[in-house]
Structure 1
Amino acid sequence: MQITVLTVGKLKEKYLKQAIEEYSKRLSRYAKLQIIEVADEKAPDNMSLSEEEQVKKKEGEKLNKYIKDNSYIVALAIEGKQLTSEAFAKTIEDLGVSGKSNITFIIGGSLGLSEDILKKADRLLSFSKMTFPHQLMRVFLLEQLYRAYRINNNEPYHK
């Protein structure tokens, strides 16, 4: 399986880079992983709603350049469906069984994802009703992908 994590913004924090490297290494036993970062747009604090939409639209255009036609697209969005780790593992397994061997997970910037990207997604996935930094979501996503493969292979993993 080919998994692409398409994300807005560069990681700066060393501890997040180390966590991503660790989970990327662990995942390499199960799937081919590619992480693609696109530059985020400047988003000053006092923006109007229309300015926020423009920022998301520009970021969406950058993301869109990397979305492959044959990929199953999962957008991380607070309004998405929440799954247990077991249900997430089953989703990954079902996609593989149904012949969808390319999955692209999309993580937006600090303002979220554009409507264009949300509409293009095959599934909206939420990790929580809470808001998390988009850089930290990469770590959460990779950990859950690793957990999903461990579950699907009946391998032990802490609960």
Structure 2
Amino acid sequence: MVWIIMGVSGSGKTTVGKKLAKRLNIPFYDGDNFHPKENVEKMQSGRPLNDDDRKPWLVTLANKINEWNNNKGAVLACSALKLSYRKLLTSKSDDVQFVYLKGNRETIFNRMKSRSDHYMPAKLLDSQFEALEEPASALTVSVEGNPSEITDRIIKRFLSRE
């Protein structure tokens, strides 16, 4: 299975995703690392991506998800903000568990302001919330608490669904 840790930028996808992958003993991948150079440059310049920008990136990730599912699984950090994006991500493999890291704008904005190692500027957060279509079928977990607590909640909630 591939676990897709989704949510707006600054919600903790990478940090929580790495912890979850370690706990599950499977590889972790950050979806941002698969963006084409043009997308990264656009975001660095403060311009939000549009659906045309995202489509090739999402197709690449869909292929990777299929590859990882044919191996031993993985954890992928990916915003997956819209239903259409999630459908594209799962178009080649349906053995996927979405985990939505849900938080309010103020909490996430404060986190984004404090980080210096990411190309997504905090001023683009509003465009992320505008694009967000909250998933109905994902495992929804609050971003409140530290990354270990959030990871524990994900595993506990997943096990209780089985």
TM-score bracket for the superposition, by shorter chain length: 0.3 to 0.5
Give TM-score, length-normalised by structure 2: 0.37
Question: What is the TM-score of this pair, normalised by structure 1?
Answer: 0.37
Higher helix share: 2
Instruction: Select the structure of larger CA radius of gyration.
Output: 1
- Structure richer in strand, relative to its length: 1
